[in-house]
Amino acid sequence: MKIRNFGGYSLGEYLGGGLYTKVYKAYSFLAKPIYGNPVAIKILYLKGGIFERNKLIKQFEREAEIAMNLEHPNIVKVYNFGRFDNHYAMIMEYIEGKNLKEFLYEREKWDLKKILRICYLAGRGLEYIHQNNIVHKDIKPDNILISYDFEEVKITDFGIAKLQKKLWQKDIFPKSGTITKFGIISYIAPEQAEGYATFQSDIYSFGVTMDEIITSKLFIEGKEDEDYFKRIDIRAQRKNMGKQKILCDDLPIPFEIKNIIKKATEFETNLRYQSMTHLLEDLKNFL
């Protein structure tokens, strides 16, 4: 799209997006930009009839209102939102990096300590989200941003989040997954697939995310050049067939970490971690 003025910022590099939204890096032409320089701007693209458009606008506004009330070092800050130049847009914190999924596809492997630090920081963000009575509903590597120096780890995208006071309501968008060659890595807890997400549904998604990161990025002597799909596909197929409980079950990592992932991804919620705080305590004790 052509450069437009969004609250004193002009659009620059395209960063990514989905079916209805696109995110751009943006720069201010003001001497003292109110939100710093640069920022990220998320723009809503309206499609369909008037009913669908109104639904998209309400969902976009709800996402911004939820995110604007959150202040945490492990959550991407949303500064403001509104209608700029006939487009609905959200002005957000810019992270000089990329999402975790993009890192996973790279061949470079990481040691376990680095992986677990990333998981712990992302977990801190999710713990804070739950403390504010919000179910994120879309925890996955795609929605975790990491700076190039690996100092910043932040959760983003509250597009399908729900407030705790509305837990009894059936979810509108319960699905989430990643397609591999042999199937799908699904981050969705069984109850979320039925349309009733809870805090423990996010814990399940977080456990699947931990499992995927370790499996695809762990440095293993002699296997450091394996790509993402070689690490994931056969294991995903075995897991989907019920032949192994978690992707990293056969990898040379401490049983304590495997047990954390297994407990986070239990089918029955009463067997799962009851809170992110409990999971982080176990992870911190190991670290």
Tell me which of 85, 138, 157, 250 is the catalytic residue: 138
To the query of whether residue 233 is one of the catalytic residues in this protein, the response is no
CB 265 within 8 A of CB 208: yes
Cα-based distances in Å from 174 to 47, 144, 260: 21, 19, 24
If phi > 0 it is left, if psi is from -120 to 50 it is alpha, else beta; for residue 82 that is left
3-state helix, strand, coil in the chain (%, to 5): 40, 20, 40
CB 183 within 8 A of CB 71: no
- DSSP state, residue 94: -
Catalytic residues: 138
